[in-house]
């Protein structure tokens, strides 16, 4: 499938799952903005992806950085057609819901939820004006209320539950505009966050996010949570 001159922005694009999402999008004909906190890291990832990849310095925890990066990208390429909110942290693996400190909660929410929200506010209005857009929030089954059976990783779980809620709200708000908003659970994937023991390689983990990012025009799939291209319960 070819996507002409469409432009995608992928946060957390300089390593692991994010880099593989960028690679697969580039292979489908998109120009891909590989966003990372350090431009040098983004540049290195781009060298491994190919000429369709463009480095972009972007820190999702900084409103000023998001504003500047989006202004730079839109100034060079116009509308950003695809947004993949992949940047995330998980720093509370040993905690439970009754052991969590507020600083850890705030740090996790600022990256996993607020960062994605900042990008959506900066980019999605342009998508809606153009009548086309794909937003993919990379989430986890840990954030599914229906599947939640543990208090472990409380900040991470809460951040992904909230990201899922944001997905639903944006999908409802953008109904009929041509902008589709979905959440993708890549599964336990070998990456900086997932570690080397994870059973999935980045190629497999990237498949569902890339599928949702490239849904064809006329497809009405929006407001869903998917793993392996199949719906999961919220």
Residues labelled catalytic: 156
Best CA proximity match to 7, nearest among 184, 126, 88:
126
Strand partners, 180: 134
**215-221 long-range contacts, Cβ below 8 Å, gap at least 24?**
215/134, 215/180, 216/1, 217/132, 217/178, 219/180, 220/180, 221/180, 221/182
Residue 176: Cβ-neighbour burial (10 angstroms; 0-12, 13-18, 19+): exposed
CA distance 208 to 47: 24
232 Cβ contact partners less than 8 Å away, ≥ 6 residues apart: 141, 144, 147, 185, 225, 226
Adjacency order of strands within the sheet including 82-85: 53-57, 31-36, 7-10, 82-85, 133-138, 179-184, 225-227, 230-231
């Amino acid at each position: 499938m070819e996507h002409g001159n469409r432009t995608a922005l992928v946060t957390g694009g300089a390593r692991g799952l994010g880099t593989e999402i960028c690679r697969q999008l580039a292979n489908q004909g998109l120009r891909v903005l590989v966003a990372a906190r350090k431009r040098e890291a983004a540049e290195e990832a781009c060298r491994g992806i190919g000429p369709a990849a463009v480095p972009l310095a972007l820190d999702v925890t900084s409103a000023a950085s998001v504003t500047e990066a989006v202004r730079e990208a839109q100034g060079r390429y116009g509308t950003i057609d695809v947004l993949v909110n992949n940047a995330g942290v998980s720093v509370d693996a040993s905690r439970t819901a009754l052991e969590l400190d507020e600083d850890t909660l705030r740090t996790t929410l600022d990256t996993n939820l607020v960062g994605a929200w900042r990008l959506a506010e900066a980019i999605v209005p342009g998508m809606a004006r153009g009548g086309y857009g794909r937003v993919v929030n990379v989430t986890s089954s840990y954030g599914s209320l229906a599947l939640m059976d543990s208090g472990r990783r409380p900040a991470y779980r809460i951040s992904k539950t909230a990201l899922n809620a944001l997905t639903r709200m944006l999908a409802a708000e953008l109904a009929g505009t041509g902008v589709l908003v979905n959440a993708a659970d890549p599964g336990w994937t070998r990456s900086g966050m997932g570690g080397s023991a994870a059973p999935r390689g980045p190629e497999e983990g990237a498949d569902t996010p890339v599928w949702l990012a490239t849904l064809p025009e006329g497809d009405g799939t929006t407001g869903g949570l998917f793993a392996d291209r199949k719906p999961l319960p919220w």
